[in-house]
Structure formats: structure tokens, C-alpha cells
Chain A
Amino acid sequence: DIQLTQSPSFLSASLGDRVTITCRASEDIKNYLAWYQQKPGKAPKLLIYDASTLQGGVPSRLSGSGSGTEFTLTITSLQPEDFATYYCQQLYSYPVTFGPGTKVDIK
């Protein structure tokens, strides 16, 4: 199985901050990476697919980049609705796997 690691595991930030979350894959997954946001008591929500393409309705302050084994999710100007846990997911090979998550909390 392809392993995904995320850093940091926890991030404390203020409104308006720029935050970056990194996802690393244990092998080359090209650009077959998705990002999700999950809030307490809710299902994950697809934010980005193909490493950098925003899902419809996702605000442009979110962006994704990377290819191969290293990927980033960036949120510019953090808003109240952005405080959540973020997961990366590889869809390059089966079984698809998810990262352990990064929780973004209010400083």
C-alpha cells in the first residue's frame, strides 16, 4: 500500500493567516492526489483533485500543488469556516489510501 504522511499534524493559526499543509507519498503517485476538509460530525468534503484542481464551489483562497511524492495544500487568508481537519488521499493505485490528517485550529 502507498503510505501518506502529513505535516504538521496540528496547526494553530489566526484569521487571515496563510497556512500550508504538506502531504508526502511513499512512492511516486504522479498527480493522483486529492484533498478533503472534514468538520466535526460531518463527512469529508472534496476540495481538490488531480493535486491542483479545485472542486466546484471551493473558494479560490485554497490551492494545491505538487507532483510525484510531495504535495501541498495552501490556504491564503484563513477564514472562520477553514478551521477543520484536512486529509490528503492518493488515487494512483489500489487500495486508495488517506493521510492521517492535519487539524487546523484557532490560535
Chain B
Amino acid sequence: QVRLQESGPGRVKPSETLSLTCTVSGYSISDNYWSWIRQSPGRGLEWIGYIYKNGSTNYRPSLKSRVTMSVDTATNQISLRLTSVTAADTALYYCARARVYCDTASCYSDDAFDIWGQGTLVTVSS
């Protein structure tokens, strides 16, 4: 059974850096793209970006200057760093797996998210 578990501090002070980890079990992170998505009452569901096993990334343009994602295949973990946080970054943060589908020739990935973690709430407050 594939499971994703987010972890990290529940509170971050304004202007500091938010750091979260997503631990994947039951599945190799080398086999897929992985996204971070956040949810807040004001912004709804907001895709932050994705990372692939080779380190290639694609970030939401509005967050690109503050976001860094990384993968650690040895520990099967994906990480998110968001710098210079403000109250607007207060949200429930999810990691999610991109759907993989295969034909006779190869396997592909799209950005429908078929497995999600339970989410971790991050509050930006002094």
C-alpha cells in the first residue's frame, strides 16, 4: 500500500523558512513525479510545484523565487523549502503523487494526483 506522510514544524515565524518532508512508503519515488499542493480557506487548493527523481522541477511562477524542492532516493523522501514566509503562506500542505499510465510502448505521467498524504498544517505566526 502506497502511503505519503508529510512532516515538519507546525509553526513558522514570518520572514523565516518553511521546511517540510514527505516520506513515501510502499513505492519508490524514483518511479514518478511528486508535487506539493497547499490548501487554505482564502486560496483554495494551490499547486506549488513538482519534482522528478533526476531533480528536475517545475514551480508555480508566483512562488518560484521562494521555493526549492528536492528528492532523496536513499530515504525515499521529498522535501519542500519555502523562504520568506508571510501569513499568506499559512495553509495545509500536501504532497501528492502524479498519476502514471502505461501503454505497450512506455509509461507516462500526467498531473492528476492519485495518491495524497494526509497533509500537515503550517501556521505562519510570530
Is chain B found bound to chain A in the same assembly? Answer: yes
Query: Which residues of chain A are near B112, meaning CB under 8 Å?
Result: 34, 46, 49, 89, 91
Q: Which of B47, B61, B99, B118 contacts A96 (CB 8 A)?
A: B47
B5-37 residues with Cβ-Cβ distance < 8 A to A are none
Query: Which residues of chain A are near B118, meaning CB under 8 Å?
Result: 42-43
Q: What is the 8 Å Cβ interface bit string for chain B, positions 107-126, against chain A (1 contact, 0 not)? A: 00011111011110000000
A94 to B99, CA, bound (A): 16
Residue of B nearest to A56 (CB): B114
Please count how many residues in chain B sit with their CB below 8 Å of the partner chain's CB atoms: 20
Q: Given A98-B44, A100-B44: A43 and B58 within 8 A (CB)?
A: no
Q: What is the 8 Å Cβ interface bit string for chain B, positions 35-65, against chain A (1 contact, 0 not)? A: 0000000001111000000000010111000
Q: What is the 8 Å Cβ interface bit string for chain B, positions 79-108, against chain A (1 contact, 0 not)? A: 000000000000000101001000000000
Docked-complex contact A44 and B47, CB < 8 angstroms? no
Q: Shortest Cβ distance from B101 into chain A, in angstroms?
A: 9
* Chain A interface extent, by class: 20 to 34
**Chain B contact residues: helix, strand, loop or mixed:** strand
Q: Which of B61, B62, B99, B116 contacts A44 (CB 8 A)?
A: B116
Q: Which of B44, B58, B110 contacts A101 (CB 8 A)?
A: B44
Q: Shortest Cβ distance from B99 into chain A, in angstroms?
A: 6
Residue of B nearest to A101 (CB): B44
- Interface residues, chain B, CB within 8 Å of chain A? 44-47, 58, 60-62, 94, 96, 99, 110-114, 116-119
25 contacts between A and B (CB under 8 A): A32-B110, A34-B113, A43-B94, A44-B45, A44-B113, A45-B116, A46-B112, A46-B114, A49-B99, A49-B110, A49-B112, A89-B45, A89-B113, A91-B111, A94-B58, A95-B61, A96-B47, A96-B111, A97-B47, A98-B44, A98-B45, A98-B46, A99-B44, A100-B44, A101-B44
- Interface residues, chain A, CB within 8 Å of chain B? 32, 34, 36, 42-46, 49, 55, 87, 89, 91, 94-101
